[in-house]
Structure 1
Amino acid sequence: MTTATTSSTEYFHNMSLALKDAGAFRPTLVIDKTRLNENLDHLSTVIQSGFDYRIVAKSLPSIPLLKYIMQRSGSNRLMSFHLPFLFHVVKHLPHADVLLGKPMSVAAARQFYQWHQSLDVSSFEPKQQLHWLVDSVERLQQYQALAKELNCSLNINLEIDVGLHRGGFSADKEEQRTEFNIALEILTTDKDLTLTGLMGYEAHASKMPKLIGGTEKAFKLAMQSYQTCLQCVVNIFGQDFCDGLILNAGGSSTYPLYNKKNNQTNFITEIATASALVKPTDFDVHTLEHHKPACFIATPILKLISNPEIPMVKRLSKCLRTLGFLPRQACFIYGGNWLASPCFPEGSKRAHFFGHSSNQEMYELKDDHKVKMDDFLFFRPSQSEAVFLQFGKIAIYEKGKIIGWWPIFHAEEPTNEEKNNEELA
């Protein structure tokens, strides 16, 4: 047994004992707080060079978890992507400065203000603390009409396309610059709308193959596109105004590429990231080799199976097993079918011949496995934003113990349909 295997075995053995001591006998999402801190320290080395840090709330969907990151990083800046969770953040973290991470329909924006006005008490001030993301002239005009309808001021952050091509403004071509300038002109003349910044997301950069220039070329082009858009803003608003803008960029797979001493990135004012702090498998990229996985799904092994068979074909199953197409050892787990990959016991993998199951999914085990019934099978989530919401409270693991259970996000405000159903009931 290699040192790496011994270390992995000991790590998950200790986590298993902690979960059993804490009474976690169901599928459980676990965050290793020590590894979380180490990953945050890596992020801090970049942030402390002169960038502000905006925490991407969807990737860490838990108020206690966000509070911990905010306290440790010294940042009150959040990025929100889902209207019910925006309500949740505003209610529980009213001191936060919130930037929307994707454009919301004008109906969604209207609903936010209706909800906020319905609160008995709130110290959250949208006029100072909320920035709506706008990706087109049409949407900007809709928000312009909303501001007049509600007689309020809206902060506008313009989404710019710096190479991901997921929408937003661009200034790389003449016709694109024309549309961008139309938006900027609207913002200069409308007293109800305030331009507070730009957001350029360049997640593609870390995934570009070397054959077409790789990360370095993609990132360079992204920053050039960003600066082209910024120059359009300077031309219309002036340099003094632009010195106070939020110039948001970065992501979990690209934040290490930023450096205030580098002319290529020193104009950026803030970096957004969060997934890098827990490192799901989607972020196993070369730019994050120095980060450690810090989130796991632990689920009990309900049944151990020797020489599993395909139903009704016993002889064929034996033949397939001899040929190596069926395992000799397998197990059924509590739950399954998550956006996740098994990571311990080593060599375990989903038994494809049985198909997916969200109830009792089957996993192949090595012939010499050491696990027993009621031990845990561990997974690494592929992402955090969806997976974290499936398991109830998050188990916080530190120094061989589960030290706390942190609740996940929940929707704050029922929809009109739900309200009507409640009234009918």
Structure 2
Amino acid sequence: MKRRTFLLALGGGLAAAWWLKPGDQGGPHGAYFQPYNTLFRDSGPGRPLLFIDRQRLAANCRRLQQALPPGRAYRIVAKSLPSVPLIREVMAQTGTDRVMVFHQPFINAMAEAEPGCDLLLGKPMPVRAAARFYEELPEDAGFDPDRQLQWLIDSDARLQEYLEMARRLGRRLRINVEIDVGLHRGGLTEPRQLDALLERIAAHPRHLAFAGFMGYDAHVGKLPDLVESRDTSLRKAQAVYQSFIDRLYQVAPELREQPLTFNGAGSPTFTLHGDETPLNELAAGSCLVKPSDFDVPSLKDFEPAAFIAAPVLKALDGLTLPGPLPLGDAWALWDPNRRRTYFIYGGYWKAEPVSPPGIRRNDLYGASTNQMMHNGSPATELLPGDQLFFRPTQSEFVLLQFGDLAAVSEHRIQAWWPPLPQGEGA
């Protein structure tokens, strides 16, 4: 290779390397998080906490109501908002008393805390869990499960188990049937499968009553458009749902006069349902606090309303990694966003750092639930006692990890909201 050609190639390589070199993405907390940094640093509990922005929550509730098709009801998904006061807040903002529950201790907690609520199971419960609900329900709770609770049934075999329980307990169970509208996670797959369930329910009117359908359409919009468009997937799901309704009224026309529940949707899809939907109520929960897994086009108008604040325990210059080689020094030299090291109180949550800008966890150092390492540029300006803020990727598990939730508004802690109980062994 000629010297000139070599120098040109070397120069091109260096230019390309310089082009790939990370820029400084750091900065101090912005206008939204800086007041919360001051609040939790000076008046917080000195440990990681999860806070709910009540103003953003209320705005998201208004957006949800505006998106509901006319004449349709809204049902709160408790697993995504797992706190009685948080659910009460959403009830007040949306005017609904309908709640979907997925965990036996949650069923009991809601029945006792809100005895006027209407509960629908979001998944089929083992019959032992259903029986435990009745065992733990106080006689003076004021909640009537024979009128206010719908058990989800996905097969005739499970319906038989529930019938035996109803006979043993002397109860009349309201039965909601799970149907598969395309998610393929269980439930009836063909309308004719409904016949056996309806026959069994009709044969035991003292212990069973048909209450409706639940068909979850979380698969809508998940396939690449090249395979199937979102609109096509939604139309197919709605057609399947309607076919079950048609079969229901064909086999049991007397049920046309009953107030049945035709539940479906979910946070990613409820805004897609319009006047044509066969549903008479739509369920959603996560969209109201909007963790990052719900950054989807259908929820573009919703705002994140739940964040983690974790105190910085140690703030160090540079990046020192274990081992004999100066890998940390080289890494920090290459990437200005690795030139400051922060060890925080706790970590390794289903969450990503969101403030100050440019903060990144250090996966090479390793994950820790005790003192997680994060790096940033010197422009992040954090000191011990300052807060590093995270946005959860999902809500249903993360909101249960921090004890009482801090309900905030206008940069003040207004209340502490306890999470729903997990139960023994949870």
TM-score by length of 1: 0.89
Match of 2:214 in 1: 199
Alpha carbons of 1:316 and 1:249: their partners in 2 closer, same or farther (altered >3 Å)?
closer
Runs of 4+ in 1 over 4 A off after TM superposition: 5-8, 323-326
CA–CA distance in structure 1, aligned partners of residues 213 and 85 of structure 2? 29
Match of 1:250 in 2: 265
Aligned pair partner of 2:95 in 65, 74, 80: 74
Identity %: 38
**How far 1:319 sits from its partner (Å)?**
3.5
CA–CA distance in structure 1, aligned partners of residues 390 and 136 of structure 2? 38
Is the contact made by 1:208 and 1:214 (CA closer than 8 Å) also made in structure 2?
yes
**How far 1:213 sits from its partner (Å)?**
2.3
The answer to whether structure 1 residue 360 and structure 2 residue 381 are counterparts is: no
Is the contact made by 2:28 and 2:380 (CA closer than 8 Å) also made in structure 1?
no
Aligned pair partner of 2:67 in 30, 43, 46: 46
CA–CA distance in structure 2, aligned partners of residues 327 and 50 of structure 1? 54
CA–CA distance in structure 1, aligned partners of residues 327 and 52 of structure 2? 43
CA–CA distance in structure 1, aligned partners of residues 319 and 396 of structure 2? 35
The answer to whether structure 1 residue 20 and structure 2 residue 41 are counterparts is: yes
RMSD in angstroms over aligned alpha carbons? 2.1
Match of 1:174 in 2: none
Gaps of 5+ in 1: 172-176, 419-425
CA–CA distance in structure 2, aligned partners of residues 337 and 242 of structure 1? 52
**How far 1:326 sits from its partner (Å)?**
9.0
The answer to whether structure 1 residue 103 and structure 2 residue 124 are counterparts is: yes
Is the contact made by 1:332 and 1:360 (CA closer than 8 Å) also made in structure 2?
yes
**AA partner of residue 197 (structure 2):** A
Match of 2:360 in 1: 349
Gaps of 5+ in 2: 1-25
Aligned pair partner of 1:64 in 69, 79, 85: 85
CA–CA distance in structure 2, aligned partners of residues 19 and 405 of structure 1? 14
SS in 2 for 1:207: coil
TM-score by length of 2: 0.89
Q: Deviations over 1:84-121 (max 9, x none)?
A: 111111111111110011000111111212222xx251
CA–CA distance in structure 1, aligned partners of residues 332 and 383 of structure 2? 22
Is the contact made by 1:347 and 1:366 (CA closer than 8 Å) also made in structure 2?
yes
SS in 2 for 1:313: coil
Match of 1:230 in 2: 245
Q: How many residues align?
A: 400
Match of 1:139 in 2: 158
CA–CA distance in structure 2, aligned partners of residues 234 and 220 of structure 1? 21
**AA partner of residue 180 (structure 1):** L
The answer to whether structure 1 residue 394 and structure 2 residue 405 are counterparts is: yes
**AA partner of residue 251 (structure 2):** I
Match of 1:179 in 2: 193
**AA partner of residue 304 (structure 1):** A
Is the contact made by 2:82 and 2:399 (CA closer than 8 Å) also made in structure 1?
yes
The answer to whether structure 1 residue 90 and structure 2 residue 116 are counterparts is: no
Structure whose alpha-carbon radius of gyration is higher: 2
SS in 1 for 2:246: helix
**How far 1:323 sits from its partner (Å)?**
4.4
SS in 1 for 2:419: coil
**AA partner of residue 200 (structure 1):** G
